[in-house]
A and B are shown apart, each in its own frame.
Chain A
Amino acid sequence: MTGELGQFALCLALSLALVQAFAGLAGARETAAQARAVASGSALGFFVFIALSFGALTYGFVTSDFSIADVADNSHTLKPLIYKITGVWGNHEGSMLLWVLVLGIYSALMTLAERGGARLTSAALGVQGLLASAFVLFILFTSDPFRRIDPMPVEGAGLNPLLQDPGLAMHPPMLYLGYVGLSATFAYAAAALITGDAERSWARAARPYMLVAWIALTLGITLGSWWAYYVLGWGGFWFWDPVENAALMPWLVATALLHSALATERTGAFRTWSLLLAIAAFSLSLIGTFLVRSGVLSSVHAFANDPERGLVILVMLAIATGGALLLFAWRAPKLEGGAEFDTVSRETALLLNNLLLCFAVTVVFFGTLYPLALQSLTGERISVGAPYFAMLFAPAFVALLALVPFGPRLSWRKDDLRQAMRALAPAGAAALVVGLIVLAFATPRSLAAAGSFALAFWVLGASAVDINKRLKTHTVSANGLASALAHAGLGISLIGIAATTVWRGEAIDVIGPGQSLNVAGYELRLDRVEPVDGPNYQAMRAIIDVRRDGRDLGTITPEKRSYPVEGEAISDTAIRTTGFSDLYVALGDDRGNGRWSVRAFFNPLAPFIWFGGALMALGGLTSLWGRVRVRFARLAPAE
């Protein structure tokens, strides 16, 4: 029954989305107050029915209702409850339903907050309604989550063991909160073009959604990278895999947009450019969805075999992006005049930020899509791996980080570069000292590491200078604090990346009980390997004693787990972290006679990579908090 209820709710949601689209767009006219009320009501109704539908699917997963094909294909009675719930979005159908649920949440928030005036909100709701209709149609026709199977299987097929992990459980909802948050930004940009009021108000109205999307993408990417680190068993944190790049591209553009929209909101500068970035950010989210959902990545042929889903997403991408660009081409030239600012000004700094971020996103875009395009056009296969990105992406980021300290230091319109340099002198000194210390004392000696540390301290120092100055002049603001925190996060991440890349210790060997492996001064002695039973897996667990300089540091227990239902095995790495460094051990294959291959890494400062990501997100949250507080402060006297 619940399955049919879920599907019925989904159909009702579709009709409400269509009403929302038409009424919302009609409500963009000054006189159409009634249409606006209808759009607002249907946006709330859409949210309610999508939530019901999602609840019905979740109920199916929790109660292991295997008459629903999606549940039978992706769940199992023995799975722990948490993975039954997260299994809802651990598959194509359920994850698309999550996508529209998040869209519904954003639409409901847009209605309730009504930022930027009734007309702008209404038009934005109309655009959201169009997107919602397209996606719900996509779900109903190509990816029905409630399809029944008869006869009903006795047991489900289980969930990919790699996905049965707390880190990955939270990863997709975060990414979707980000991807879809960019749809709200896109909707406001399109609404601004529709209503013709594309000066500043839209940027201010869309700001909180931009921020939420950016925070969620930052956290989603950080979580994903952390997950790859501890699950995949080779100690790496980023592999320039197309799926990772699919999330990185919208993040880069969203970062550029956050910066350019600052100028748009404040002085009206870069207003057409900000509109274009808002369109691009959401288009890249759709491209990301396409890459991950169409199967085109595993092979161009996999896509050709089952082209339906991929093609539909491509068509939606073409309509959304093409439509928005047409609207842009039609309306943008009518926008009056440009900004006034001097060569040395915050506007110029933001412009350089955008130039470098756009270059970075182009590199990722080419690196990700070029092999696909080349193979489908000529049949020739090439790989674009880390060396390509290191050659093109890394220099852009170095340049960006070198310029970051200037941004918050320079004032709008016009400033003096020498004065800014003087203010940043302590940061420069800190960078120089740290760089020289690293060059002199760290082994093996590395110019790249010294340069990275200097760059990181240049950025960190600038954040400290900024906060210090604000404290002294009593001008601490949420926005100022936000940029200091987010930029510091970049510096912290850079320290972690540089240290792990340059000074990682690595050892791999086949050892038996009593034998040991040495890595970076640690002695890892294999005591025994014993079988352990989990709720839905069997594991071989290695008990390894850790010693350093003759001191006993306790045991570490990496596992190799096999999931009989899914027929797959994964390794569960053991990580002993101090917060400053990780000792990382992965259990490999059984080589017979009690001998196992064991791989160990010592990753200095690795946790900093994710601390930095969390700090960036905290910066975003600070800025968001500032916005929300201001809004409540404005509401209060009226009540």
Chain B
Amino acid sequence: MMRALFAVLFAMLCFAGAAFADYGPEKLSDPRLEARAVALQRSLRCLVCQGESLDESNSQLADDLRRLIRGRIQQGQSDRQITAFLVSRYGDVILMKPPLEPCTYLLWFGPLLILVFGGGLAGLIVYRARARLGQSG
């Protein structure tokens, strides 16, 4: 499949330079740190499998990134630092939750605007229906 081929190529490209990077273990022994790692990998998207987070994906890239996150947690980096590093490497696309920026204002506030507008309209409809009820008694 084309997508699988693309994914493999993509993963190879990304990791050609990072082959010697300091990957951590698959699972951290400290449950508190492990919980942090799991929370982090749930907030990041697997770039190979559309729609799945790093937590859910079975791809090689997700596997590597899960270990990279643990390696950096062991080095004492904060969640914010790790996220910032991954965003600088892969772009905003890796974030499951899109950041609030000018180009995503419409995404975040569009539906709310519709809700406000719709709510106003619904209020008007009820108001008018009530007035009509009053007229006819």
Which of B26, B96, B125, B126 lies in contact with A386, CB distance below 8 A? B96
Complexed CA–CA distance, A383 and B44 (Å): 9
A164 nearest CB across to chain B (Å): 15
Which of A233, A362, A413, A571 lies in contact with B111, CB distance below 8 A? A362
Binds A, one of B12-20, B78-86, B97-105: B97-105
For chain A, the bracket of interface size reads 35 or more
A548 nearest CB across to chain B (Å): 23
Whether A611 sits at the interface, judged by CB under 8 Å, is no
Binds B, one of A345-353, A489-497, A621-629: A345-353
Would you give the 0/1 interface string for A220-241, flagging 1 where the beta carbon is closer than 8 Å to chain B? Answer: 0000000000001110100111
Residue in B3, B96, B111, B133 with the greatest tally of chain A CB atoms within 10 Å: B111
Which of B92, B104, B115, B125 lies in contact with A359, CB distance below 8 A? B115
Chain B's closest residue to A235 (CB) is: B56
Binds B, one of A24-32, A148-156, A323-331, A333-341: A333-341
Instruction: Find chain B residues with CB under 8 A from A413 CB.
Output: 133
A190 nearest CB across to chain B (Å): 24
Which of A233, A339, A381, A568 lies in contact with B92, CB distance below 8 A? A381
Which of B57, B93, B97, B132 lies in contact with A387, CB distance below 8 A? B97
Would you give the 0/1 interface string for B110-130, flagging 1 where the beta carbon is closer than 8 Å to chain A? Answer: 111011001100100110111
Whether A438 sits at the interface, judged by CB under 8 Å, is no
B106 nearest CB across to chain A (Å): 7
A380 and B51 within 8 A (CB): no
Instruction: Find chain B residues with CB under 8 A from A240 CB.
Output: 51
Which of A236, A339, A352, A382 lies in contact with B129, CB distance below 8 A? A339
Chain B's closest residue to A160 (CB) is: B1
A448 nearest CB across to chain B (Å): 16
Which of B52, B95, B119, B133 lies in contact with A414, CB distance below 8 A? B133
Which of B99, B103, B136 lies in contact with A340, CB distance below 8 A? B136
Complexed CA–CA distance, A234 and B53 (Å): 11
Instruction: Find chain B residues with CB under 8 A from A388 CB.
Output: 96-98, 107
Whether A385 sits at the interface, judged by CB under 8 Å, is yes
B129 nearest CB across to chain A (Å): 5
A241 and B107 within 8 A (CB): no
Whether B58 sits at the interface, judged by CB under 8 Å, is yes
Chain A's closest residue to B133 (CB) is: A340
Complexed CA–CA distance, A344 and B48 (Å): 51
Whether A374 sits at the interface, judged by CB under 8 Å, is yes
A184 nearest CB across to chain B (Å): 27
Instruction: Find chain B residues with CB under 8 A from A343 CB.
Output: 126, 130
Whether B45 sits at the interface, judged by CB under 8 Å, is yes
Which of B43, B53, B56, B129 lies in contact with A341, CB distance below 8 A? B129
Complexed CA–CA distance, A339 and B126 (Å): 9
Instruction: Find chain A residues with CB under 8 A from B110 CB.
Output: 362, 366
Whether A165 sits at the interface, judged by CB under 8 Å, is no
Would you give the 0/1 interface string for A560-599, flagging 1 where the beta carbon is closer than 8 Å to chain B? Answer: 0000000010010000000000000000100000000000
Instruction: Find chain B residues with CB under 8 A from A342 CB.
Output: 129-130, 133
Q: A298-B3, A359-B115 are in contact. Are A381 and B50 (CB under 8 A)?
A: no
A339 and B122 within 8 A (CB): no
Whether B76 sits at the interface, judged by CB under 8 Å, is no
Q: A239-B51, A342-B133 are in contact. Are A385 and B97 (CB under 8 A)?
A: yes
Complexed CA–CA distance, A337 and B94 (Å): 52
Whether A297 sits at the interface, judged by CB under 8 Å, is yes
B125 nearest CB across to chain A (Å): 6
B106 and A383 within 8 A (CB): no
For chain B, the bracket of interface size reads 35 or more
- Those of A200-247 within 8 Å (CB) of chain B: 232-234, 236, 239-242
B34 nearest CB across to chain A (Å): 11
Whether A137 sits at the interface, judged by CB under 8 Å, is no
B79 nearest CB across to chain A (Å): 14
Residue in B1, B91, B92, B97 with the greatest tally of chain A CB atoms within 10 Å: B97
A385 and B114 within 8 A (CB): no
Which of B43, B51, B104 lies in contact with A382, CB distance below 8 A? B104
B103 and A380 within 8 A (CB): yes
Which of A297, A363, A385, A391 lies in contact with B45, CB distance below 8 A? A385
B95 and A382 within 8 A (CB): yes
Which of B58, B96, B132 lies in contact with A385, CB distance below 8 A? B96
B111 and A359 within 8 A (CB): yes
Instruction: Find chain B residues with CB under 8 A from A588 CB.
Output: 58
A506 nearest CB across to chain B (Å): 9
A267 nearest CB across to chain B (Å): 10
Complexed CA–CA distance, A114 and B51 (Å): 44
Complexed CA–CA distance, A343 and B126 (Å): 6
Complexed CA–CA distance, A371 and B91 (Å): 14
B103 and A378 within 8 A (CB): yes
Whether A332 sits at the interface, judged by CB under 8 Å, is no
Complexed CA–CA distance, A236 and B46 (Å): 15
A383 and B95 within 8 A (CB): yes
Chain B's closest residue to A339 (CB) is: B129
A362 nearest CB across to chain B (Å): 4
Residue ranges of A at the interface with B (Cβ–Cβ < 8 Å): 232-234, 236, 239-242, 269, 297-298, 337-343, 347-348, 351-352, 354-355, 358-359, 362-363, 366-367, 370-371, 374, 378, 380-388, 391-392, 413-414, 508-510, 568, 571, 588
Task: List 19 additional A-B contacts (Cβ < 8 Å) besides A355-B118, A385-B97.
Answer: A241-B51, A341-B133, A347-B129, A348-B126, A354-B122, A358-B118, A366-B110, A366-B111, A374-B104, A381-B92, A382-B92, A385-B51, A385-B96, A387-B97, A392-B111, A413-B133, A508-B26, A509-B27, A588-B58
Residue ranges of B at the interface with A (Cβ–Cβ < 8 Å): 1, 3, 26-27, 43, 45, 50-53, 55-58, 91-99, 103-104, 106-107, 110-112, 114-115, 118-119, 122, 125-126, 128-130, 132-133, 136
A-B contact pairs, 7 of them (CB 8 A): A241-B50, A297-B50, A337-B132, A342-B129, A358-B114, A358-B118, A381-B91
